[in-house]
């Protein structure tokens, strides 16, 4: 195998690994979003916080960790991954940030903002 073929093989392998990681983060993000939206659907805004398990604070902590990880991953690999995977990663990060924003809206008792974020998360979760 010549050096060029070896380099392409390594590039393709790295690209595949990065795209798999992006897909895993997207999948985990959608799990969070689905759980949040389902709890909201069942319990409405007034029963959301007391019925969400794990608590929103725990989901936010995990969301922040995932957001940081996907941000770093995208920054380091944007030159090798396909547009659709990059977009999926950005969408995941936006969902994760919206989860954090939702928690803050609940903290300040801004129900209108909470409802707006629920709608936005529902739309974002449909993107792929």
The pTM (predicted TM-score) of the whole model is 0.87
| CA nearest neighbour of 37 among 50, 24, 48 | 48
pLDDT at 10: 83
For the chain, the helix, strand and coil percentages under 3-state DSSP, each to the nearest 5: 85, 0, 15
| CA nearest neighbour of 40 among 117, 125, 123 | 117
pLDDT at 127: 64
Domains of the chain, by residue range, sit at 18-124
Q: In the chain, count of helices (H) and strands (E)?
A: 4, 0
What tens-digit pLDDT sequence spans the chain (128 residues)? Answer: 455 556 678 878 888 999 999 999 999 999 999 999 999 999 999 999 999 999 999 999 999 999 999 999 999 998 899 999 999 999 999 999 999 999 999 999 999 999 999 999 999 888 65
pLDDT at 96: 96
């Amino acid at each position: 195998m010549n050096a060029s073929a070896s380099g392409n093989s390594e590039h393709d392998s790295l690209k595949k690994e990065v795209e798999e990681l992006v897909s895993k983060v997207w999948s985990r993000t959608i799990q969070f979003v689905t759980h949040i939206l389902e709890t909201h659907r069942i319990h409405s805004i007034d029963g959301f916080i007391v019925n969400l398990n794990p608590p929103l604070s725990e989901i936010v902590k995990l969301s922040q960790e995932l957001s940081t990880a996907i941000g770093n991953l995208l920054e380091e690999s944007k030159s090798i991954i396909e547009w659709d995977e990059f977009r999926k990663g950005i969408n995941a990060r936006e969902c994760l940030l919206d989860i954090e924003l939702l928690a803050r809206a609940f903290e300040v008792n801004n129900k209108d903002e909470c409802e707006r974020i629920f709608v936005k998360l529902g739309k974002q979760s449909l993107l792929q």
